[in-house]
Amino acid sequence: MTDTTGLTRLTGSGDGDGDDKCGQGDCPNVYRTDRGTFVVQGNQFTGFKPPEGEGLVEIPEDVLKEAIRALGW
């Protein structure tokens, strides 16, 4: 896990080794903030057009848990 400006990277090593081929830190990832929320990084979804300038989304832990429960994981 990498800590950068209050973010702890939870997925992918970012070093280009093994299954993580990105190496540039620009791959889909999930981060935890120092406030206990999550930031999701990934390709922009084209199913709808978000407001200009949006790219990373911060969501509360309970929203993420609810989505996981809905999927039955």
Q: What is the pLDDT of residue 4?
A: 61
Q: How far apart are CA 25 and CA 13, in angstroms?
A: 8
State pTM to two decimals.
0.59
Q: What is the pLDDT of residue 63?
A: 80
Q: What is the pLDDT of residue 8?
A: 87
Q: Judge whether 8 and 35 are in contact, CB under 8 Å.
A: no
- Let me know if 64 is exposed, middle or buried by CB neighbors in 10 A (0-12, 13-18, 19+): middle
6 pLDDT above the threshold of 60? yes
Q: Give the number of other CB atoms < 10 A from CB of residue 2.
A: 14
Residue 8, beta-bridge partner list: 3, 32
Residue 51: pLDDT band (50, 70, 90) is confident
Phi and psi angles of residue 33, each rounded to the nearest 5 degrees, phi first: -85, 170
pLDDT digits (tens, 9 = 90+) for 10-49: 887 655 454 555 555 567 788 888 988 888 887 766 788 7
What are the sequence ranges of the domains in the chain? 3-71
